[in-house]
Structure 1
Amino acid sequence: MFGLIGIVVIFVMVFGGYLLAGGKLGIILKSLPFEMMMIGGAAIGAFLISNDMSAVKQTAKDIGKVFKGPKWKPDDYRDLLCLLFSLIRIARQNPVSLEAHIEDPENSDLFGKYPKIRDDHEAVDLIADTLRSASMNYDDPHQVEEVLEKRIEANQHHALHSSHALQNVADGLPALGIVAAVLGVIKTMASIDQPPEILGKMIGGALVGTFLGVFLAYGLVGPFAAKVKTVVEEDGHFYQLIREVLVANLHNHAPPICIEVGRQNTPHHFRPGFSELEEALKAVKQDAA
């Protein structure tokens, strides 16, 4: 929602201010298709050269994050804490029955209560692999924490590729705008024998290239890259929460303490209240009884 509002504000303020200052859109609209073809086409071509097909597809998909925002909402953090609480209790009370949940999460009735989490392969794999390692006595908390940290960092580095790719495009757009403007000047110089009013329009059309390159870079593509990065980093807290809770579990803290550690490490705007979480955990205990 805010993404759309931001785009509207940019266009209204830039072009509204131009019109209020006495500018005319005719010269811009006349030159826009050709300048957009040169600048936008060159930017897309450079983007394709510098990225493989998987990165191109991922970037196209991640652009939607500008408008959708983070994948994980406050309710998802509460559900994750409830899921981890249930898994830790099972691991402490009946380790054998835990195997069915972590070896086949898709058919687990426990994971089935939280379909959004179950459908996220990275979250499920992170939980299952860590609990599986603990069941094999791979229980050095510091070593597990280091392994989880490296894994999460690697995943986040990969997820940030779209942001870096978009930022590279944004960095190149002003220069591509200059290229288009230079071509416009070349065209103008070839018509130097024309009257001043015609030359003025041609020079104005050439300058549209410079304007368009800078406008796209700092008004649209650059902010898109920044927003994608922000959303990826916000979603990264969800996986950090898994690490915090499961490492606390390896320190043999009581399940409620493990969950409280996770709650305290949840970003404030996603963190469930203590009473809210307590009620959710009571419901979990009643369902398990």
Structure 2
Amino acid sequence: MLGSIGIGVIFVMVFGGYLLAGGKLAIIMKSLPFELMMIGGAAVGAFLVSNDSHVLKQTGKDIGKVFKGPKWSPADYRDLLCLLFELIRLARSNPVGLEEHIEAPQTSSIFSRYPKICTDHEAIDLICDTFRAASMNYDDPHQVEEVLDKRMETNRHHALHSSHALQSMADALPALGIVAAVLGVIKTMASIDQPPEVLGKMIGGALVGTFLGVFLAYGIVGPFANKVRAVVEEDDHFYQLIREVLVANLHQHPANICIEVGRQNTPHTLRPSFSDIETALRSLKQDAA
């Protein structure tokens, strides 16, 4: 919603201010299709040259994040803490019984209680792989912790590919706008024998290229890149919570303490309250009784 509102504000303020100042849209609209073809086409072509098919698909999906926002809500963080609590409690009371859940989470009675989390394969794999590694009796829990850190850093790096690609496009657009403007000037110079009113319109049309390149860079594509990065970084807190809880479990802290460690390390805008977690965990204990 905010993404759509922001784009609307950009167009209304820029073109509204231009019209109120006495500008005329006719010259912009006449040149826009050709300038957009040159600038937009060159930007898309450069994007295709500099990225592989995986980044192209990921960027297409990530653009939706500009309008949808982060994937996880405070309720999802509460559900994640409840899921981890159930798994930790089972791992300590019945390690053999845990295996059926981490080896086949898609059919697990525990995981099935949290359908939204189950749709995120990376979150599920992160949980299951860490419990599996813990069952291998590592001499030092820091070994598993180091593996977790490297894995999360790699995932974060890949998740930010589309943001970097969009930012590269935004950086190139002003220069491409100048290219289009120079071509417009070349066209104008070829018609130097025309009267001033004709040359004025041709020069104005050439300058539309410079305007369009800067406008798209700083008004559209650049903000899109920043928003995608912000959403990726906020969603990364979800995986960071998994890390914090499971590392605390590796150090053999009580299950309730492990959950509280994860809750405390969640940003306050996403952090479920202590009472909410207590109520949810109490309900789980009653169901298991």
Structure 1 position 265, deviation (Å): 0.3
Q: Per-residue displacement from partner, 1:124-181 (whole Å, max 9, x unpaired)? A: 1110011011111126222211110110000000000000000000000000000000
Counting only pairs closer than 5 Å after superposition, residues 20-39 of structure 1 correspond to structure 2 as 20-39=20-39
1:244 aligns with 2:244: yes
User: What is the TM-score when the length of structure 1 is the normalising length?
Assistant: 0.99
1:141 aligns with 2:141: yes
CA-atom RMSD in angstroms: 0.7
**Which one-letter code corresponds to 1:246 in the other structure?**
L
Rounded to whole Å, the distance in 2 between the matches of 1:257 and 1:112 is 24
Identity of aligned residues (%): 80
* Compared CA separation, residues 139 and 225, structure 1 to 2 (3 A): farther
1:188 aligns with 2:169: no
**Which one-letter code corresponds to 1:72 in the other structure?**
W
| Residue matched to 2:16 | 16
Counting only pairs closer than 5 Å after superposition, residues 123-272 of structure 1 correspond to structure 2 as 123-138=123-138, 140-272=140-272
| Contact in 2 for aligned 1:140/1:250 (Cα 8 Å) | no
Counting only pairs closer than 5 Å after superposition, residues 49-128 of structure 1 correspond to structure 2 as 49-128=49-128
* Compared CA separation, residues 110 and 268, structure 1 to 2 (3 A): same
Rounded to whole Å, the distance in 1 between the matches of 2:76 and 2:177 is 44
Rounded to whole Å, the distance in 2 between the matches of 1:64 and 1:92 is 41
**Which one-letter code corresponds to 2:121 in the other structure?**
H
How many residue pairs are counted as aligned between the two chains? 289
Rounded to whole Å, the distance in 2 between the matches of 1:19 and 1:247 is 59
Structure 1 unaligned spans of 5+ = none
| Contact in 2 for aligned 1:88/1:255 (Cα 8 Å) | yes
Structure 1 position 68, deviation (Å): 0.5
